[in-house]
Structure 1
Amino acid sequence: MTPDEVSLAASKLIEVERVDAAILLLSMATHSEHPLDPECLLETLETVMKLPAPRQKELRERIDQHHIQELIGYLQNQSSGDYECRLATIEWFFLPLLGEFSIHSPKTLHSQLEKSPKFFIELLSVADHVQQEPTQEEKNRVEYAYHLLHGWKTIPGTEPDGKIQEEKLRQWCEEVRQLARKTNRLGICDSKLGELFAHAPSDPDGTWPCEAVREIVEEIGTEELGKGLYYGIVNSRGVAWGTGGEEEHELATQFRSKAEKISFDHPFVGEILENVSQCYELQANHCKEEARWEG
C-alpha cells in the first residue's frame, strides 16, 4: 500500500469505529520505507483520546499498547515543529505507555521542560499539590506530573554534542527558582534540581559532575539542593543484592576520589560526594556483616 492508501484506509476504519484496526494498520506501515502522513497518525491518536472511558478501556484490552508506542515514536522522529503542541498533548495522555520500560520516552514533553521554566514549575506544583478527596482525574494528573519529572534526565542547556552551556543552565535555573519562590515552592524546586543534576555528564577529563553543573550547584548551595543531589546519586544505583560489600566499597572509593578532585574549587559539591562515599562505605560494612553471619 502507498502512504496515501494507508491514510485513506485508516480514515475509513475510524469512520466505522474500528480505531483499533486503524492503529494496527498504521503501526505496521511505520516499518515501511515510504514516509507516512503525520496528520493521519495524529488524528488517529487524537481519536483515541476523545473516546468515552468505557471505549478506551475496551481498546486497551483489544490492542497491544506497543502499537500506540510505535505511532508516537514515529511522530517524534519526524522532528517537525508544526505539530509539537499536539504531540505533547498526546504524550501526556499516553504517558503511562512512555515510562522507563518503554523503548519510547515522552521526548516532546521533556523538550518543553528544557525550554520552559514555567512548565517545570507547573508540573512541580501539580506533583506537590494533593487534594483531600481527589478525583481519579486529579490522582492521574499528580501521578503523571511526578513520573514526567522523575523520568526527565537531560540537563537544560545541553547541546547536541552532550556539552552543557553553563550560561543557558544558569539562566534556566534562575527563572525556575524565581517562579518557585513566588509559589512558595523553592525548597522542593531545589530538591528536584538536585535530583536532576545527579544525571549530569562528566567533563572530558572524567571529572564528575561536569564543571557547568558544579558551578551552578555551588552558586545555589542550599541544603535542599544538596539533599536532592545526594539522594539522586544514591537512588540512581537501584537495589543491589548479594554483593558481599565489594561493589559498595568500590563505589565508596570512586566517590571519595571524585570528591577529593573537586573539593578545593567546589567545596559544597565535594562535601556531597564525600557524604555519598560514606553512605556506600556504611553499606559495604553492612553487606560484609550480613555475609559473615550467613556464611
Structure 2
Amino acid sequence: MIKWPDWSFSLLMPSGEAYKIPNLEKQIEEQPELFVQAVAMAYKRSDGGEDPVELRPPNQHVKEQRAGAAYRLLEKLSTIPGHNSEGELDPDRIVNWVQKVLESAIELSREDVCDFCLGKLFSKAPIGEDGVWPCEPVRKVLDRIVNAKVSRV
C-alpha cells in the first residue's frame, strides 16, 4: 500500500472545476489501490473493524485532514481509468481496474461506499461516438458489472 505522504499534496488542491490533476489520475489508473486508499480514508468501514496499521492515523486531527483531502481527491477525479497504449478507453482494462479496486475495498470493508465512489467516477465518462452517454467502453463495463452482481444474488 502506498503511504499517505506520497500524495498528501492533494490537501493543497485548490477547489474549482478548472483545476485538473492528470498526473495523479494517471497514478491512480496504474495503481488502483490508491483509489481504495482514498475511499478508506474518506469513509468508515462498514463492519466497525480496524483498518491495517498503515491506514490508521496517529491522531484525530490527522484523521480529519486525511478524510477531507481524500474526499476532495475522489470528488476531483474525472478521468476514467483503463486506457490502452493509444490512449483509448479499453473495456477489458477498465474491468481489470475495477476488479482490483473492488477486491481491495472488500478487504477493507468498504465495498458499498466504493461502489458509490466508482459510480460517481463513471458518471463523469464522456459521451460516446454514437452520441449516447456514457461512452461505449464504459457502457460495456457497467453492463458486465451489473450482470455479475445480479448473477450473485
- Structure 1 stretches of 4+ with a deviation exceeding 3 A read 102-107, 158-163
- Give 1:190 shift: 0.9
**What is the Cα-based RMSD across aligned positions, in Å?**
2.9
- Give 1:103 shift: 5.4
- Aligned residue-pair number: 133
- The corresponding residue for 1:157 is 82
- Give 1:160 shift: 8.0
- The corresponding residue for 1:197 is 122
- Give 1:100 shift: 3.5
Rounded Cα–Cα distance in structure 2 between residues aligned with 1:219 and 1:99: 36
Rounded Cα–Cα distance in structure 1 between residues aligned with 2:128 and 2:23: 27
- The corresponding residue for 1:279 is none
Query: Could you tell me whether the CA contact under 8 Å between 1:99 and 1:105 is conserved in 2?
Result: no
TM-aligned CA distance change 1:159 to 1:173, over 3 Å: same
Rounded Cα–Cα distance in structure 1 between residues aligned with 2:112 and 2:41: 15
- The corresponding residue for 1:211 is 136
Unaligned runs of 5+ in 1: 1-84, 226-295
Give the alignment partner of residue 141 of structure 1, picking from 40, 46, 66. 66
- Structure with larger Rg: 1
Deviations 1:143-171 (A, max 9, x none): 00110011001000135876311111011
Deviations 1:240-293 (A, max 9, x none): xxxxxxxxxxxxxxxxxxxxxxxxxxxxxxxxxxxxxxxxxxxxxxxxxxxxxx
Mapping for residues 248-287 of structure 1, pairs under 5 Å: none
Of Structure 1 and Structure 2, the greater helix share is in 1
Mapping for residues 120-139 of structure 1, pairs under 5 Å: 120-129=35-44, 135-139=60-64
Query: The residue matched to 2:129 in structure 1 has which SS?
Result: coil
Q: Identity of counterpart residues, as a percentage?
A: 29
Higher relative contact order (CA 8 A, sep 6+): 2
- Give 1:209 shift: 0.8
Query: Could you tell me whether the CA contact under 8 Å between 1:121 and 1:179 is conserved in 2?
Result: yes
TM-aligned CA distance change 1:202 to 1:158, over 3 Å: farther
TM-aligned CA distance change 1:204 to 1:162, over 3 Å: farther
Rounded Cα–Cα distance in structure 2 between residues aligned with 1:159 and 1:100: 30
Rounded Cα–Cα distance in structure 2 between residues aligned with 1:185 and 1:96: 22
TM normalised by structure 2 equals: 0.73
Unaligned runs of 5+ in 2: 46-55
Query: The residue matched to 2:20 in structure 1 has which SS?
Result: coil
